Amino acid sequence: MVLTRKLIFLLSILFSLNWGAFAKVTHLIVIKPKYDQLTFGENELNYFKITLFDEYRKDSLIIPRYSNCLNFKGKLAQYNGDFILYGKQIPYSEIKIEHPRYVTTFAHLNKTVTTIDSIDTFNQLHHILIHETVIEIEQECPEDPKFDYLFKSGTQSHGGFYNENHIGVLMHDSLCIDSLKSIAKKYKLTYKNKSYDGKTILFKLQKGKLKKGKNKVIGKLLMDSLLVKDAGVTTDTNLISYFSSFYRINALYIDQIEKWKFNPISGLMSMAEALVYIKNNELEMGCGLYRIKNGLGYKILDLQKQIKVNTHKTKCKESALLVALDKEYIIIHTRTFSIHGGKDIKKKKFKNEKRMAEIYEEEKEVKKSFYTPFSFIEPILLNQ
CATH number, domain of 151, equals 3.30.70
SS3 (DSSP) at 321: helix
Q: Is residue 102 part of a domain?
A: yes
**Which comes out higher in pLDDT, residue 336 or 332?**
332
CA 143 to mean position of chain CA atoms: 30
**pLDDT at position 239, please?**
65
Alpha-helical regions (H) of 192-240: 217-223
Element (H, E) at 375: none
Please indicate, yes or no, whether residues 262 and 340 belong to a single structural domain of this protein. yes
Please indicate, yes or no, whether residues 125 and 44 belong to a single structural domain of this protein. yes
Last residue of a domain, one of 136, 165, 183: 136
**pLDDT at position 255, please?**
92
For the chain, what is the mean pLDDT?
Answer: 75
Q: Is residue 1 part of a domain?
A: no
Last residue of a domain, one of 226, 242, 258: 242
Q: Is residue 5 part of a domain?
A: no
CA–CA dist 170, 222 (Å, integer): 10
Number of H helices, E strands in the chain: 8, 19
Q: Is residue 86 part of a domain?
A: yes
| Biggest CA pair distance of the chain | 109
Q: Is residue 320 part of a domain?
A: yes
Please indicate, yes or no, whether residues 295 and 236 belong to a single structural domain of this protein. no
Q: Flag the least confident range among 82-96, 170-184, 226-240.
A: 226-240
Please indicate, yes or no, whether residues 31 and 131 belong to a single structural domain of this protein. yes
**pLDDT at position 145, please?**
39
Please indicate, yes or no, whether residues 307 and 352 belong to a single structural domain of this protein. yes
Which residues are CB-neighbours of 198 under 8 A, at least 6 positions away? 171, 174, 175
Last residue of a domain, one of 242, 257, 274: 242
Give the CA radius of gyration of the chain.
29
**Which comes out higher in pLDDT, residue 5 or 99?**
99
Which residues are CB-neighbours of 248 under 8 A, at least 6 positions away? 268, 288, 289, 290, 377, 378, 379, 380
Helix orientation angle between 345-370 and 299-336, rounded to the nearest 10 degrees: 160
**Which comes out higher in pLDDT, residue 80 or 20?**
80
Please indicate, yes or no, whether residues 230 and 359 belong to a single structural domain of this protein. no
pLDDT tens digit string along 250-306? 999 999 999 988 888 777 777 888 888 998 999 999 988 888 866 676 677 788 888
> HSE on the CB side for 221, CA within 13 Å?
32
Please indicate, yes or no, whether residues 213 and 336 belong to a single structural domain of this protein. no
Q: Is residue 182 part of a domain?
A: yes
Which residues are CB-neighbours of 231 under 8 A, at least 6 positions away? 167, 168, 169, 170, 218, 221, 222, 242, 244, 245, 295
Q: Between the CA of residue 353 and those of 24, 326, 342, 348, 362, what are the distances in Å?
A: 36, 14, 17, 9, 14
Please indicate, yes or no, whether residues 162 and 258 belong to a single structural domain of this protein. no
- The answer to whether 384 touches 196, Cβ cutoff 8 Å, is no
- Give how many domains the chain has, as a whole number: 3
Please indicate, yes or no, whether residues 331 and 271 belong to a single structural domain of this protein. yes
pLDDT tens digit string along 150-174? 455 555 555 544 567 888 888 888 9
CA–CA dist 322, 326 (Å, integer): 6
Write out the residue range of the structural domain in which residue 91 sits.
22-136
Please indicate, yes or no, whether residues 155 and 221 belong to a single structural domain of this protein. yes
CA–CA dist 131, 31 (Å, integer): 9
Please indicate, yes or no, whether residues 383 and 250 belong to a single structural domain of this protein. yes
Which one, of 37, 66, 27, 36, lies nearest residue 50 by Cα?
Answer: 66
Which residues are CB-neighbours of 371 under 8 A, at least 6 positions away? 277
Q: Is residue 7 part of a domain?
A: no
Residues linked to residue 30 through DSSP beta bridges, in sequence order: 84, 132
CA–CA dist 217, 221 (Å, integer): 6
Q: Is residue 82 part of a domain?
A: yes
Please indicate, yes or no, whether residues 118 and 45 belong to a single structural domain of this protein. yes
> What is the pTM (predicted TM-score) of this model?
0.49
**pLDDT at position 326, please?**
84
